[in-house]
Amino acid sequence: MSPIPGLHTVGLLGGGVIGGGWAARFLLNGVDVKMYDPDPEAPRKVGEVMANARRAMTKLYQPALPPEGTLTFVDSPEEAATDVQFVQESAPERMELKQMLLRRASAVAPADVVFGSSTSGLLPSMMQEGMTHPERLVVGHPFNPVYLMPLVEICGGALTSQATKDRAFDVYTAIGMRPLHLDVEIDGFVADRRMEALWREALWMINDGVATAQQIDDAIRFGPGLRWSFMGTLLIYRIAGGEAGMRHFMAQFGPSLQWPWSKLTDVPELTDELLDTLVGQSDAQAAGVGLRELEALRDDCLISVMKGLRGVGYGAGEVLEQFERQLFSRAVQPDVTHDLDQPLRLYEVTVPDEWVDYNGHMNDSRFFQVTSEAGDRIMRFIGVDDEYLTHSSYYTVESHMNFGAQAMAGDRLYATVQLLSHDTKRLHHFTSIHRADDDAVVATAEHLMLHVDTVAGKSSPASAELLANLDRLAAHHSQLPKPAHAGRFVGQPRA
C-alpha cells in the first residue's frame, strides 16, 4: 500500500536517464511503477540507476523511506497506462514519438488520470494533439538526477485544465519535489532557457580558444554556482546593489549589457573541429573516471549542499526539511598549559546548523562526535602523534552516554576529559560536554579504549613513553572526585 493517498501505481513511458530517475523517485516513495520502454537493455539501465538512487536517497533523508514500490516492465504504452493513477512520459525529444505514445496511452486511461511530460522544451499544446482528453496533459519537466533534484517545471498547453495542473503539483510535492508553475507556454520553459545561454557561451569560448571545458566549469562551480543554488541570480544582484537595491545595481552595471561581452545572439557552427575539441576536453576533464562513479560523486555533492541548506531552512534545504517531516508523519507513524589537577578542557565547538535535527536540537550522534573529538585529543595529549598512528592507536571498545540538556544551533560547547584508570593496554576516561555560556553539563560519556597494533590487527601494550605520560596524568586525576555518572548502567535511576 502506497503511503501517498490516491497514488498507488504510476505508469512511465520511457526508461532512459530521465525515466529511470522518475522510476527511482516514485519507487523509493513506496509507489508501484509500470514502465514501458522498447529498449531490451532498459531493465539493466534502470536497475543501475536504482542502485545509485537507493544509495543517495538513504543518505539524503534522516527518517526511513517507506517500503520500496514494485517495478514492472510492460509491453505497450496501453499497458503502462492501465490501472494507474498518474502517467509520466519521458521519451526522446521527438514530437511525433511523444504524440504517438500519449495518443495510445490516453486512449485507455480513465479521464481523471493526469499525464505529465518530461520534455525539456517542446510545447505541450502540440503534444496534446490526438490525445483522448487532452486537457489532462501537463509538462512536468524535471532535472537530472530526478531522484535528487527538487525542481520540476509545470507548464500547461492551450487545453490543459487547472485541475490537471493542481493534480500534477500535488503528486510532485508528495514525492519530495518543488514544483514551479509557469504561466506562459514557451519553448524551453525557464530553467533550460537560462542554461542554454550559458551553454552557447561555453561553446563559443571553446570554439574561440578562450577557455577549456575544465576552466569554464571551474569558473561556475567555484564561483557564482554556489550562490545560484540558494538565491538564484536576481536576488543576488539586488543584494549587490546595497541599500538602494536593484535600481542602484542596474545604474551601476546595466550599461555593461551593451558591451560585447558575450555572443548570446548567435551560436558557433558545430564543425567537426569544434566537436572534436569539445569531446577531447570533456574526456580530459573526466580523467578516466567512469559514468557510475561520476554519478555517485555528483550525488554526494548534491547531498552535501542540500543537507547544509536544511540547517537554515532555506532554498532546497527548506524543501528537504518539509519532505522529511512528511516522511516522519507517514511513519507515524603532556600539554603544560593545562591544569592537570582538573579535567582537561580539550575540545570546543560551536554547534553548526547541520548538526541540528528535525526537532531543532543537536542530534544524538553529534554528542558522540564531540566525545570522539575529545577522545582524539586525549590521545594526542599523551603522545599519540601522526608517526605513532602509522603502527598503533587506541580503539574505542565500549561507551556509555548520558544526556542532561539540549544543545541548539549556535551554542558554544566545550568538552573536558578526566582519566579514570589505565593499564598497559586499556584507557578508561570520562568526558563532560558543557555549554560555554553557563558551564551547564549537557551530556557526559564514559569510554573504554583498547591499545591496538594496527599493523598486526590485535591488542598490544602501549609504548613506554605513552604509559609514562598516563602515569603522570593519573597522579593528578586520581585525586579528583569520581564523576557522578561514571560506572552507570542503562536505566539506572538518577539521584
Round to whole Å and give the CA distance between 280 and 278.
5
Kindly calculate the radius of gyration of the chain based on its CA atoms and give it in whole angstroms. Answer: 29
Residue 296: the pLDDT is 83
Which set of grid coordinates corresponds to residue 407?
544543545
CA distances from 144 to 53, 149, 269, 439, 475 (A): 12, 7, 27, 48, 61
Of 220, 124, 120, 119, residue with least CA distance to 165: 124
**pLDDT above 60 (res 3):** yes
Distance separating alpha carbons of residues 35 and 295, to the nearest angstrom:
23
Average per-residue pLDDT in the chain? 89
CA distance 47 to 44: 5
The full length of the chain comes to 495
Closest by CA to 467, choosing from 436, 434, 428, 422, is: 422
401, three cell numbers: 552516554
- 258 pLDDT more than 70: no
| For range 391-419, the mean pLDDT | 94
Per-residue cell: 130:
490526438
> Please, what are the domains in the chain?
9-181 (3.40.50.720), 191-288 (1.10.1040.10), 344-477 (3.10.129.10)
Cell for 380? 594526542
Look at 264 and 162; give whichever has higher pLDDT: 162
CA distance 164 to 73: 26
The secondary structure of the chain in percent helix, strand, coil, rounded to multiples of 5, reads 45, 20, 40
SS3 147: coil
The answer to whether the CB of 150 falls within 8 A of the CB of 177 is yes
152 — phi, psi (to 5°)? -140, 120
CA pair distance 483, 318, nearest whole angstrom: 42
Tell me the one-letter amino acid at 485.
Answer: H
Least confident of 128-137, 152-161, 169-178, 347-356: 347-356
Give how far Cα 20 sits from Cα of 6, 45, 52, 144, Å: 22, 8, 11, 10
Q: Cα–Cα distance between 240 and 233 in angstroms, integer? A: 11
Element of type H or E holding 414: strand 412-422
- Quick one: pLDDT at residue 334? 42
User: Which of the 8 DSSP states describes residue 107?
Assistant: T
Rounded-to-integer distance, Cα 268 and Cα 132, Å: 42
Q: What is the pLDDT of residues 311-366, one digit of tens each?
A: 788 888 888 888 876 764 453 334 447 889 999 998 899 998 879 888 889 999 99
329 Cβ contact partners less than 8 Å away, ≥ 6 residues apart: none
- State in Å, rounded, how far the first CA of the chain is from the last one: 48
Is residue 382 within 8 Å of residue 469, measured between CB atoms?
A: yes
Burial degree of 159 (CB within 10 A; 0-12, 13-18, 19+): middle
Task: List, for residues 28-87, the tens digit of each pLDDT value.
Answer: 999 999 999 999 999 999 999 999 999 999 888 888 899 999 999 999 999 999 999 999
| Amino acid at residue number 77 | P
Amino acid, res. 466: L
* Model confidence pTM above 0.85: no
Burial profile 58-83: b = 16 or more Cβ within 10 angstroms, e = fewer? eebbebebbebbebebbeebbbbbbe
